Every structure is written in structure tokens, then in C-alpha cells.
Amino acid sequence: MSTLRGKLYIVATPLGHLDDMSFRAIKTLQSVDFIAAEDTRHSAKLLTHYQISTPMISLHDYNEQERHEKIITLIQSGHSVALISDAGTPLISDPGYRLVHAAKKLAIDAIPIPGPCAAIAALSVSGLPTDCFIFEGFLSAKSSARLAQLNVLKHETRTMIFYESPHRILACLDDMQTIFGQDREVVVARELTKFFETIYSDSVENILKKLRQNPSEQQGEFVVLVKGAVIEARVMDEETTRVLNCLLAELPIKQAVKLTAEISKKSKNLLYDLALILQKAPK
Ligand code: SAM
């Protein structure tokens, strides 16, 4: 039994570049009793590269409940288990949530061994605001559901981060254009840390054009980041925004919009959108 007794380690692994494996991740995977892997055949390559011979437990071999019970039983009997996914940080659009939830309920320590995560890597080079952001993971595969999800985010003021697959990247950007407008600033981070790494920063309309012109660049793994809606408030002149803000502080939104429209002669619809943004914006 290893020295790391009775604990569950959540270990991040590279997104594509093997050098991104941390020393602590290697040491932990070498020292634990078992490695629970999303796909053992996939992870075998990484473990071989780092001469890690720790036995693996496949997360695919049992049904979810059984495999969690097996891992929890191993930990409760004093063994240590590390959870890894195919790439990046486990639980981030990857399996592991239920296991960690179950472990915490049984007072088993879950120890993070942090490292690569596509969302954070993309955000760090996006040039978009990083003080406040939301991670939405994968949007629905169906356009109608995706449009509905995006519509909920129409007035979101924080930077939005999405994961997307190559066969839906164009459809997803198309839907973003429909909901957020063609001028909304978007960053598409493709194949991060890999040979074909590409980062596009432009309006959603221009990024769509570029990707359509280069079918080879529609291949690979994608993170899509969308600038928050707060910037759109600036299309309204400062005085109108100030009036609306003052009225919103005192009145219900509909009345504030109606009065501002009368004062400024601006479109009620635009003012309503702006009011929603202002209500969400940090004061
Ligand atoms: N757990 C992973 C993480 O920490 O980022 C994410 C796993 S999720 C199943 C896979 C998705 O993450 C891909 O479809 C893509 O959206 C994103 N992703 C993973 N690796 C990437 C990379 N090298 N470049 C861009 N996006 C990547």
C-alpha cells in the first residue's frame, strides 16, 4: 500500500503536449495504489511515456454506480486512488463529479493535483476580460436547444467559455451570430498546445468567414469564448445610459425603459436590452 493512504487524487494531465505534465502529477500517479482512468488504453500511452506502472481501473468496465463503489471501497480500505481523464482536468466536461461527490459525503479527502484545462488555457490568451467569466461546457447538439441556451445568455455580461467539437463548430458559431449579433467579439482557440494550435480573435461574422474559407481549420478541438454583453451598453450614448441607470434605481424596468424612451427618443427594444445589461452589471 502506498504512503498516500485513503485519499482520492484528482490529477490533471496534458491537453496534447506531453511536457505539460507536472512533476507532482507524475509523482502522484507513480505513488498511488490505483489510477482510475476514463479510457485505460488512451491513458496507457501517457503512463508509458512517464514510466508509470501503477495498475489502472477502467471507468468503462462497470456501470457508474458499481465503479464508484469499487473505488470508494478501495479508498476506505486504506488504498489511494488517482482519477485522470483523457486530457486536461477531470470533472471539467469529463467524468468524476459523482465520484468526488460520493467521496466527500463519506468524509474521504479529494486532493487536487492541478494542471492543464482547455477553458483556462484559452481564457488566458483570449484578451477578453478575465476578472469574471462563466464556463458553459458543451452546448446542446440540437440547433433549437442551442439557440434557446444562447438566448438565456444574450445579456450575460461576463466572458463566456464554451467547448465545441469539430463537426458542430460552424453551426455553433452561426447560432452565436444569430443570438449575439454579427459584431460580437469571439475568440476561437483550436488545438491548444498541439501542432496546429490556432487562435482566432475577431467578430463572430469574420471568424465564421475565415473558418468557412479554411475547411482544414474546422478540424480539431475547440474552445469558443464570447465577450460579455456589457460592452454593447456603450453603443448607447452616455447620457441615455445615465438616465436609464438613474430611473432603474427607482422604478420597475418597464417604467424606467418607457420614460427613458420618451426622454431620449431611442428605441424601447434597445433600451430594454440595455436595461437588462445594466441590471446585471457590477455597480
Ligand atoms: N477536461 C478537459 C479540460 O480540462 O479542458 C475537457 C474535456 S472535454 C471532454 C473535451 C473538450 O475540451 C473538447 O471537445 C474541446 O472543446 C476542449 N479541448 C480539449 N482539449 C483541447 C485543446 N487542446 N484545444 C482546444 N480545446 C480543447
Q: At residue 232, does pLDDT exceed 60?
A: no
Going from the Cα of 171 to the center of ligand 1, the distance in angstroms, rounded, reads 18
Whether residue 33 lies inside any domain: the answer is yes
Residue 223, pLDDT score: 98
Residue 151 inside a domain? The answer is: yes
Same domain, 137 and 204: yes
pLDDT in tens, 22-35: 999 999 999 999 99
The reply to whether 95 and 128 lie within a common domain is no
Q: What is the pLDDT of residue 231?
A: 46
pLDDT in tens, 240-268: 999 999 999 999 999 999 999 999 988 88
Measured from the Cβ of residue 112, the count of other Cβ atoms closer than 10 Å reads 13
pLDDT band, residue 207 (cuts 50/70/90): very high
Tell me what pLDDT residue 278 has.
Answer: 84
Residues 85 and 126 in one domain: no
pLDDT in tens, 122-150: 999 999 999 999 999 999 999 999 999 99
pTM of this prediction?
Answer: 0.84
Residue 2 inside a domain? The answer is: no
Phi-psi region of 117 (alpha: psi -120 to 50; beta: other; left: phi over 0): beta
Provide the domain limits for residue 251. Answer: 233-280
Q: Which ligand 1 atom is the nearest neighbour of the CA of 197?
A: 24
Mean pLDDT across 104-131? 97
CATH number, domain of 49, equals: 3.40.1010.10
Please name which of 276, 169, 268 lies closest in space to residue 228, comparing C-alpha atoms. Answer: 276
The pLDDT of residue 92 is: 97
Q: Tell me if 3 is assigned to some domain.
A: no
Identify which of 20, 125, 221, 225 to mutate to test ligand 1's pocket (most ligand atoms within 8 A of the CB).
Answer: 221
Question: ∠235-236-238 over CA atoms, to 5°?
Answer: 115
Inform me whether the pLDDT recorded for 46 exceeds 50: yes
State the amino acid at position 93 in one-letter form.
S
pLDDT(62) > 50:
yes
| Mean pLDDT score, 166-194 | 97
- Give the whole-number percent of the chain exceeding pLDDT 90: 82
Residues in the chain: 283
Say whether both 44 and 66 belong to one domain: yes
CA distance 50 to 267: 62
**Amino acid symbol at 273:** D
Same domain assignment for residues 68 and 16:
yes
CA distance readout (Å), 102 to 56, 64, 67, 259: 20, 12, 12, 53
The CATH number assigned to the domain holding 161 equals 3.30.950.10
Is the confidence at residue 105, as pLDDT, over 80?
Answer: yes
- The answer on 103 and 129 residing in a single domain is no
Q: Provide the 8-state DSSP code for 116.
A: -
Residue 71 burial (CB count, 10 A): 23
Structural domain count of the chain = 3
Amino acid at the residue 59 = L
CA 113 to chain centroid, in Å, comes to 19
Answer with the one of 116, 131, 158 that is the final residue of a domain.
Answer: 116
CA 88–ligand 1 middle distance (angstroms) = 7
pLDDT higher than threshold 70 for residue 167: yes
The reported pLDDT for the residue numbered 234 is: 55
Residue with cell 460580437: 184
Angle at 137 between CA 132 and CA 143, to 5 degrees: 120
Question: Residue 199: CB partners within 8 Å, gap ≥ 6?
Answer: 122, 125, 126, 187, 188, 189, 190
C-alpha dihedral over 203, 209, 215, 221, to 10 degrees? 10
3-state secondary structure at position 43: helix
CB 208 within 8 A of CB 177: yes
What is the per-residue pLDDT for 274? 86
Tell me the best of 97, 139, 161, 223 to mutate to test the pocket of ligand 1, counting ligand atoms within 8 Å of each CB and taking the most: 223
End-to-end CA separation in angstroms for the chain: 54
CA–centroid distance, 167 to ligand 1, in Å, is: 14
Instruction: Tell whether 101 and 124 lie within a shared domain.
Output: no
